[in-house]
C-alpha cells in the first residue's frame, strides 16, 4: 500500500481532516494533499509519525452491521381521510429524519472511540521530552495536539455531551414515537 493510500485510509477511519493531521506528521496541509494525491512522496521525517496510526488501523475491529432501515410506510385503507394520510406521511418523514440524525451521532461516536483506542499507540510513539534537544518544540507541539485530540474524543462520548449517548437514546425514542403514531393511525 502506498503512502497516499495509507494516509487516506488513516484519515477516513479516524475522521481526521487535512487540516487536523498535518501538525502530527510535521507537514503543511498543502504537502499532505500532494502526498495523498500521489504528486509527492511522503517525506522521510513524517513516516515514523504515520506508523502509530497504521498500527492502530491494523488493530481495528471489524465494522458492525448498519442499523436496520425504518419500516416502510404502512398502506392506508381506501377512504382514509386526507388529514390522517398526511399525518402518517409526516410521521414517517420525521422518523426517517431522526434516524439519519441518530446515524450521524453514532458515526461521530465511532470516530471518537477509534481516536481514543489509537491514543496509547500515539502516546507510545512520542519519545520522552529532552528540553535542550533541537526537536523539543516539535515534540511539545505533538503532545499538545494529541492531548487536544484525545480530550475532544473523550468529551464527545460523555453522556451529558450535546451529541452524546443520551442524545442518541432520545432521538431513538422520538423516532419510535413517530413510528408508533403512524402505525396506530394506519390501523384506525
Mean pLDDT of the chain: 90
Instruction: Using the predicted structure, report yes or no on whether residue 154 has a pLDDT greater than 90.
Output: yes
Reply yes or no on whether the pLDDT at 67 is more than 90.
no
- Assess whether pLDDT exceeds 80 at residue 34: yes
Phi, psi dihedral angles at 31 (to 5 degrees): -70, -40
Beta carbons within 8 Å of 71's beta carbon, 6+ residues apart = 179
Which pLDDT does position 19 carry in this prediction? Answer: 93
Task: For residue 63, count other CB atoms closer than 10 A to its CB.
Answer: 8
Question: Any idea which of 20-29, 31-40, 77-86 has the lowest mean pLDDT?
Answer: 77-86
CB-side exposure of 120: number of CA atoms within 13 Å?
Answer: 3
CB 178 within 8 A of CB 91: yes
Residues 6+ apart with CB under 8 A from 41: 3, 35
- Report d(CA 149, CA 2) in Å as an integer: 26
Q: How far is CA 179 from the centre of its chain?
A: 27
Mean pLDDT of 64-81: 73
What is the pLDDT averaged over residues 172-184? 94
Alpha-carbon span 180 to 171, nearest angstrom: 14
Amino acid at each position: 500500500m502506498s503512502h497516499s493510500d495509507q494516509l487516506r485510509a488513516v484519515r477516513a477511519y479516524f475522521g481526521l481532516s487535512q487540516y487536523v493531521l498535518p501538525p502530527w506528521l510535521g507537514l503543511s496541509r498543502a504537502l499532505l494533499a500532494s502526498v495523498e494525491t500521489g504528486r509527492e512522496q511522503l517525506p522521510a521525517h513524517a513516516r515514523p509519525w504515520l506508523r502509530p496510526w497504521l498500527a492502530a488501523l491494523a488493530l481495528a475491529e471489524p465494522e458492525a452491521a448498519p442499523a436496520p432501515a425504518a419500516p416502510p410506510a404502512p398502506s392506508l385503507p381506501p377512504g382514509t381521510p386526507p388529514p390522517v394520510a398526511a399525518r402518517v406521511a409526516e410521521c414517517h418523514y420525521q422518523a426517517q429524519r431522526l434516524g439519519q440524525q441518530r446515524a450521524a451521532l453514532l458515526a461521530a461516536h465511532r470516530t471518537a472511540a477509534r481516536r481514543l483506542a489509537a491514543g496509547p499507540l500515539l502516546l507510545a510513539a512520542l519519545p520522552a521530552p529532552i528540553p535542550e534537544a533541537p526537536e523539543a518544540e516539535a515534540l511539545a507541539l505533538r503532545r499538545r495536539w494529541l492531548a487536544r485530540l484525545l480530550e475532544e474524543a473523550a468529551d464527545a462520548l460523555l453522556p451529558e455531551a450535546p451529541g452524546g449517548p443520551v442524545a442518541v437514546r432520545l432521538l431513538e425514542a422520538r423516532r419510535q414515537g413517530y413510528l408508533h403514531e403512524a402505525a396506530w393511525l394506519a390501523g384506525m
